[in-house]
Amino acid sequence: MESARAAVREKAGHAQGPVAIGILKSVAPIVAAPLYLAIKRELPAVTPEIVVGYSDELRQRLRASQLDIAMQVHAAHEKYAPATVLYRERLCLIGPAPLVGDRAAPLKCWWNAAARYA
């Protein structure tokens, strides 16, 4: 949340007025309310407008200037805007043992040449 607060402050020096913030649908139930309350508490002149959506939708809205800032899954690969990593998470493969195995094993990912462990 600190990165989002910093981005809001940076938008206008002494931030005020509406700020459209795109939040990923997968984390909105956890992040949206605390972020909204933190912005209202720390930046009372700012009116946060929370928009919830999937990464591609938020990216399109950001490019169309409908959002001021947005959470993204693959923002590090985007070249149109600077990005700050908010968090990293492990990706786990879950399923029946005959399909996924019964122990952690190296998993080669098409998006990452290095082996990862599930």
Per-residue pLDDT of 43-101, as tens digits, reads: 999 999 999 999 999 999 999 999 999 998 875 555 666 777 776 777 677 788 887 77
34 has a pLDDT exceeding 80: yes
For the chain, the residue count is: 118
φ and ψ at residue 110, rounded to 5 degrees? -65, -25
pLDDT band at 10 (very low <50, low <70, confident <90, very high): low
Calculate the CA 107 to chain-centre distance: 24
Mean pLDDT computed over every residue of the chain: 79
Residue 8, pLDDT score: 59
116 has a pLDDT exceeding 50: no
**Domains of the chain as residue ranges with CATH:** 2-77 (3.40.190.10)
For tokens 């040449």, name the residue: 113
For tokens 């043992």, name the residue: 97
Nearest alpha carbon to residue 31 among 64, 66, 69: 69
